[in-house]
Structure 1
Amino acid sequence: MNEPTERSVEGIDSLRSRMDSDARFRRALSGYDPQDVRAYVENVKRIFAQQAKAAKLEQENLIAQLDCAKSEIQARNYGIKKFKELLVEREAQLNNANTRINALLQTVKSHGAEREELERLRQEAASSGNAERIASLEKETQQLRSAVAQASNLVNTWKAERERLMEENDRLREEVYYLRAVASRPTEMEQNHAYTQQSAYEGTFEQPMRPMRQDVITAENRFVQQSAQQVMQQPAQQPVQQPVQQPVQQPMQAQAANQQREFSQVADKLATMFAEAYQLISQFKSNLDAQPEPQPRQAQPAMQILRPEAVNADAFYPRR
């Protein structure tokens, strides 16, 4: 607001000075004073220069104002354009949401009849005489559970018998090793006796007797080993002419008889165990054969199962 006022004041001052200069010019013309004329011309030049300078400044100010207004208009146009694009995007989202809502409403309306049919079938299934069928199924389930329990017990007994047989087999293997060792001892003892006779005749006893070979011997047969060691020590104390084989053969024959007895007992045990296992298997088979045959199920009406996305389940799980 101050710039136009200042400009008008400057214009009035310039006009007043111009009028004064015109009056002086007229007065000078009438008097024809060269100094006054020259001064008037210079004054007019100065006034014109001031006016041109003021007009130039005013033009520059107007150009700057126009540039500011132009940039402001461009910014507003850009904002309006963005706002329009946002409105168009929101409108498209609203249209898409309305389309989806309409499609869902149509789907719900189209599946209303199927839902009513499903509710009716559920009510019929709840009200029909399915109690007997449920009771028969529960009875069959109990029978199957009892059969499974019997089978598991039988398996456990078989496992226990298997472990016992494996232990018995290990024990018998140790006994066989022991019998082999006992069978190989008489030859070693004869060799040792011949060596002792030769050393007695020669009178030299620097070389000691070869130690007896240690094999796997069970805990219940340790006393036999001790008796065998005692018998082996007897020839060194008795005269050379006495035979050594007879007192050694008697306990060996007794040990062989004992081992034969033990083998027969183990064979009897194995036979009884296999007979019991065969009896258990036959009893289990008879129990399975004695179970009642399952009653044929009544044909139920086909039900249409709806998935959460409102699609019929027959498309994914067809009935057989």
Structure 2
Amino acid sequence: MTATIPVAVPRKGRPLEAVLERLAARMDATEVADEICSTLRYEKAITKGTQTPEHGVYDRLAEYSDLSDPTRPEYTLLRDDREGNPRRVVFDSLTLEDGDLRLQLIGREEPFRALRTHEFALGFDSADLVLEEVVELRPEPVSTINDINARIDPRDTDVRVVTGLGDTVHHTLLGRPDVGEEFTREFLGGYEGPLCISPRYERLVRAVLGTDVLEGIEFKYPTSGREEEADIADVGLGVYLTVTGSTAREHGLRVGERLFPSETVLMENTPEADRDAVRDVKALFAEAEFETELRV
């Protein structure tokens, strides 16, 4: 009998879409991957108030899921913290087969932590979360995905990064022209003053800048409820996720050095991953053609 390999994935958002896109390219899963992405984008739009549904959330959940067909995706409800939206439809599970390989994607709020507790051998999450949770803070910065494993204390966790999926946006240094000409790590080495960052990324920023650079720097946090680029413009210098930097430029900011790639990564719990079937699943995502594959 073909073994089923469970893989922890996020319940929504860019990392889940990156996993589905890679599987669509590797397995006969394009239709179901597109369906899941479309459904979750629609549900996100409802949550944000840009779509008005014709049916209630429980009716939509029943419409999306077909428990009698194991090849169909399943969804569940997640409590949303937005006022007036106490429930949101999110991904729950999907089983895919390809020859002798049987893969079950299982939605988790925190896939990385599910691997840490040995619930799964494999899982996907944002590289950001690995930095925020377990990467050691040192004087030198973490600059690439390849730096991560060397900064994980083996006494702290058995989880390691296998490869990235290339769905990259960057934590980028942004600043007003009157603060500096070029915003780089070298510039920060001589800078003293405020640096605007999201509070949920404080440990990540400490990791990607290095503790030496942070001497004389005071973190400031957005409080206005506006776009974070607007708060960075008020402070003068900051770190924020960017793709093109167009919004930053609209706020009069210069786009500086890309400090770290925010990318979906495949992770393994190394004691749990020493099985042929698990290695077959890893091969779907970590073949040599992918430049982000880690060699450790």
* TM norm. shorter chain > 0.5: no
- Normalising to structure 1: TM-score of the pair? 0.17
- Normalising to structure 2: TM-score of the pair? 0.18
Structure with more of its chain in helix, by fraction = 1
**Bigger radius of gyration:** 1
Structure with more of its chain in strand, by fraction = 2
